[in-house]
Amino acid sequence: MNWKRYASVTCLLVILAAALTGCGLLGAAEPTATPAPTDVPPTPTEMPSPTPEPPTATPTAEPPTATPEPTATPIPEKVEAWCLPLEFAGVSLDSAKTTVMPSGARPATFENGQLNLMVPAVACTFVYTSSQPLPAGTQLMFFDPGQSKPWLTTTLESPADAPNVGLSVINHTFVLNPPYWEISYVAEIRGADGTQKWASPLRVYKGKPPLCWNFQLPDPITLACPSIDGDWHVYETPVN
């Protein structure tokens, strides 16, 4: 028997068996592959939606403001008056029918809430200025205080070039030369329908002369002073 060949074959079988055994061990020892975890994508967190701002109100376009037309300045209602003193004696009353006070005329004054006329005079003119054309039939009236019925009524006349102005010339004795040193009336202007347009207390007065010997005013008509025995005598002149 060839021992060398036998030994070689035996060694070869042993090596082969060991190799097979090693392969089996290696196969048994190799762990089963754990499947890799599946990556679950993270759920995105929803960001809060911004609260929408309320829409800015669009201003409504204002219509252009119309420029007002300039209006005429209203003429204030007023009354002017004057008297022609005795130096105008013999002058026609038509010359007193004017809206402009003549030179030398004595103007009325307005004091303490009343109109004041100084007399004696040959004529007194009243001029009323209205804010609108004066209706025909507008009248100037004179009343005793506390009375409702006028004792004198005149119609105002309007010049052709001034329809909003009315004038009246007074020549009544109880205005021009009343038998008193002074007397009070109420002057009033009324429209044709009776509507009152103006009214004022009216004081008609005379310039006061020197007092008599008894410190009283002389008679307003004769300018006479009483005598000592009580009779009136023109020749007794007032004292200074």
Judge whether 15 lies within some domain.
no
Query: Do both 170 and 117 map to the same domain?
Result: yes
Judge whether 27 lies within some domain.
no
Query: Do both 228 and 152 map to the same domain?
Result: no
pLDDT of res. 47: 56
Query: Do both 124 and 213 map to the same domain?
Result: no
> Hey, which of 100-104, 109-113, 140-144 has the most confident mean pLDDT?
140-144
Judge whether 31 lies within some domain.
no
SS (H, E, C) the chain: CCHHHHHHHHHHHHHHHHHHHHHHHHHHHCCCCCCCCCCCCCCCCCCCCCCCCCCCCCCCCCCCCCCCCCCCCCCCCEEEEEEECHHHCCCCHHHHCCCCCCCCCEECEEECCEEEEEECCCEEEEEEECCCCCCCCCEEEEECCCCCCCCEEEECECCCCCCCEEEEEECCHHHHCCCCCEEEEEEEEECCCCCEEEEEEEEEEECCCCCCCCCCCCCCCCCCEECCCCCEECCCCCCC
Query: Do both 230 and 139 map to the same domain?
Result: no
Q: What would the pLDDT profile of 32-81 be if each residue is shown by its tens digit?
A: 555 555 555 555 555 555 555 655 655 555 555 555 544 444 445 789 99
CATH value at residue 142: 2.60.40.2840
- Domain of 234 in residue numbering reads as 209-240
Query: Do both 200 and 223 map to the same domain?
Result: no
